[in-house]
Each structure stands twice: as C-alpha cells, then as structure tokens.
Amino acid sequence: MEPDYFNYSLDELYDVQENIDAEKYPELYAKLILAIEGKLNEPSEVVLHETKNHEKRIWAALLGVCITWGLVFNAVYTGSFRLRRSSVYYEESPDFFIALVVVFFILGAFCLYEFKNQYNKKINKD
C-alpha cells in the first residue's frame, strides 16, 4: 500500500523528502515531488508553512536575547564570565572581560533586532 502524498501537509511532505531514499524508491520519490509542487501552488499551504517558520524564528530570536543578556547580567553581577572550560575574571583580565561583555551584549542586541523584524513581519502578514 502506497502513501497518498496529496493528503499530507507541506511540512509532512518536506519531512518525508528528508527521510526517503530516492534511489531505492524512485517512483515514490517522483510522486512525492509532484505532491510538493502541487502544495506549493496552493496559497493557503505556503502561507501556513511561512507562518510556522516566522514563529520559530521569533522564538529563537527571543531565546537568543534571554540567553545572551542573561550571561551579560550574570557576568557583570558576579565579576566572572564562565566559559565552557575556563572562566574570565574581571580582577585578572579586565580588558578581556569587558570585551566579552560587549560582544555578548551586541549579540543580544542583534537577537533583539531580529526578534523585532520577525515579529513585525508576522504582524504585517496578519
């Protein structure tokens, strides 16, 4: 029994495309590609897929802001920047410590900028 790809959502079709062995099942792969092309011609499916991508990007950017600025706040509060295998202390290396704080603050600002852009795109589409 072969799957009916035309009843799958676009996300499900992309998932199948990533996991199917095209060399082993060329007929199924051809049907899958036809189903994807058919779904891409349906505007409602494309909008739904793009909306999910925007939501993922919004959450990823917001998570990036929280993590980076949380690290900055913790570093400034404690005077130490904990890295994977070592720590940088303000007392031992103030220039490097300040450089790390600035880099992570800028990274957080970029994440905030990206969050704002993705959120505005979502709002403008609705």
Same domain, 74 and 20: no
Same domain, 66 and 113: yes
pLDDT per position as a tens digit, 56-114: 888 888 888 888 999 899 999 999 988 788 888 999 999 999 999 999 999 989 888 88
Q: How far apart are CA 11 and CA 3, in angstroms?
A: 15
Q: How far apart are CA 54 and CA 122, in angstroms?
A: 7
Bridge partners of 9, per DSSP, are: none
Task: From 6, 34, 29, select the one nearest 16 (Cα to Cα).
Answer: 29
Model pLDDT, residue 45: 54
Same domain, 91 and 61: yes
Model pLDDT, residue 91: 92
Same domain, 24 and 62: no
pLDDT per position as a tens digit, 3-25: 777 778 777 888 888 888 888 88
Same domain, 89 and 34: no
CB 15 within 8 A of CB 36: no
Residue 48 in tokens: 């739904």
Q: How far apart are CA 24 and CA 50, in angstroms?
A: 31
Same domain, 31 and 93: no
Share the mean pLDDT of the chain.
82
Model pLDDT, residue 79: 92
CB 81 within 8 A of CB 105: no
Give the angle 22-49-41 at the CA atoms, nearest 5°: 70
Number of domains within the chain:
2
- What range does the domain containing 24 cover? 5-41
Model pLDDT, residue 73: 93
Model pLDDT, residue 126: 55
